[in-house]
Amino acid sequence: MPNPHLRDKLIAVAPMMAWTDRHCRFLHRLYSPSALLFTEMIATGALVYGKQTHQLDFDSSQHPVAVQFGGNNPADLAVCAKLAQQWGYDEINLNVGCPSDRVQRGTFGACLMREPKLVAACIAAMIDAVDIPVTVKCRTGIKFKGADERYANAEFLLEFVDAVHAAGCERIYLHARNAILGGLTPAQNRDIPPLQPERGKMLKAEFPKLQLVINGGITIRQQALDYLEWADGVMIGRGAYHTPLLLSELHQDLNSPEFFVDEQNFLLQYKDYMLGQLAAGERLHTLVKHLLHSFNGRPGARRFRQTLSDHQRLKRGDSTIIDDALSHIFGAAA
């Protein structure tokens, strides 16, 4: 039996643009039957004005899945929320953490933290439109040119979360570092501002009914388990993408100690999936890229990556590339 203390805790794979597409989610679902999987961020404009509803498509084998929206207009978000519910998503999440210039130009993502009332209005509009949970992913605060420390201090975070929680958001995913708007690239913004998990602890103490899912820098099992001593869940981004086995370990810890981890089998299932996707017109490179890091640090990993990076074979759509790559890890019979 899993540790009863861990029974109601959540493991989530973070939303990651260009990474957590539907193929990546298929792979992650093999590694963990239970983790909550996030889509990449979808801008509301793409759905409301661009009519690109195909961006919402996903395979029903991937449940539970949360869709993340980027936007700042309550009416548009309500329209998108209804679509998400219609498409069968399990949760809708609003991005209040992305620091990219493109997102800032659209005045959504992390810069929305400055406007707790607007975020609350967005949440309320979505909650009004649907029956599934509506959640927020945010930073501990933001810093930008010309601003004093106001938006990065603990009081401001409390004010922000108070507004969002009062609007009906029952779960917050806290990327536990500030976002620096201007001056840092999105990648630097995921590493340079120091982690402040104690701010998550503070929120949990202040808002006992709020579910607090902590995010940032989790790469190993024990780190996740330590956070779960006080947090309601952990969200893992790069750690899950680069070491999907971590998801299996946590599934065993939280849900099912007897879960049998057979990576060769996972990858063979993914290969079957790939063949179906290729037949439906998907590009080989798009399917293969999620596998590149699967075996980092293990014998054969370098040759595995090299094989999967052969541009000529990828261009030709040569699907035998995966058997060849797997043979470096599991031997020729793979």
Ligand X SMILES: Cc1cc2nc3c(=O)[nH]c(=O)nc-3n(C[C@H](O)[C@H](O)[C@H](O)COP(=O)(O)O)c2cc1C
Catalytically active residues are 98
Distance in Å, CB of 244 to ligand X, minimum: 13
Distance in Å, CB of 317 to ligand X, minimum: 25
Out of 16, 30, 77, 329, the only residue in the binding site for ligand X (CB under 6 A) is 16
Show the binding pattern over residues 201-240: x = contacts ligand X (CB under 6 A), - = does not: --------------xxxx-----------------xxxx-
Distance in Å, CB of 261 to ligand X, minimum: 21
Q: Is 98 in the site for ligand X (CB under 6 A)?
A: yes
Distance in Å, CB of 98 to ligand X, minimum: 5
Q: Is 71 in the site for ligand X (CB under 6 A)?
A: no
Q: Are strands 171-175 and 134-139 parallel, antiparallel or unpaired?
A: parallel
Q: Where are the alpha helices (DSSP H) in the chain?
A: 22-31, 44-48, 74-87, 101-105, 116-129, 154-166, 197-206, 221-227, 238-242, 245-254, 263-279, 284-288, 301-308, 311-316, 321-330
Nearer to ligand X, 22 or 238 (CB): 238
| Nearest Cα to Cα of residue 13 among 222, 229, 243, 202 | 243
Q: HSE of 333 in the Cβ direction (CA atoms, 13 Å)?
A: 1
Please provide the DSSP assignment of 168-211 as one string.
T--EEEEE-S-EEESSS-TTGGGTSSPP-HHHHHHHHHH-TTSE
Nearer to ligand X, 189 or 307 (CB): 189
Nearer to ligand X, 91 or 326 (CB): 91
The span from the CA of 130 to the CA of 213, in Å, is 22
Nearer to ligand X, 156 or 173 (CB): 173
Residue 126 CB coordination number (10 Å): 30
Q: Are strands 10-13 and 233-236 parallel, antiparallel or unpaired?
A: parallel
Please provide the DSSP assignment of 209-222 as one string.
TSEEEEESS--SHH
Distance in Å, CB of 182 to ligand X, minimum: 18
Residue 253, token pair as written in the block: 């810890």
The phi and psi torsions of 24 (rounded to 5 degrees) equal: -60, -40
Give the interface segment with ligand X, choosing from 57-65, 94-102, 250-258, 321-329 (CB under 6 A).
94-102
Out of 15, 133, 197, 244, the only residue in the binding site for ligand X (CB under 6 A) is 15
* 101 touches 52 (CB < 8 A): no
Show the binding pattern over residues 251-290: x = contacts ligand X (CB under 6 A), - = does not: ----------------------------------------
Q: Is 175 in the site for ligand X (CB under 6 A)?
A: yes
Task: Scan residues 136-165 and list those touching ligand X (CB under 6 A).
Answer: 137
What residue is closest to ligand X based on CB? 237
The span from the CA of 174 to the CA of 183, in Å, is 22
Nearer to ligand X, 67 or 236 (CB): 236
The phi and psi torsions of 206 (rounded to 5 degrees) equal: -80, -35
Q: Is 95 in the site for ligand X (CB under 6 A)?
A: yes
> By the criterion CB under 6 A, which residues form the site for ligand X?
14-19, 40-41, 68, 95, 97-98, 137, 175, 190, 215-218, 236-239
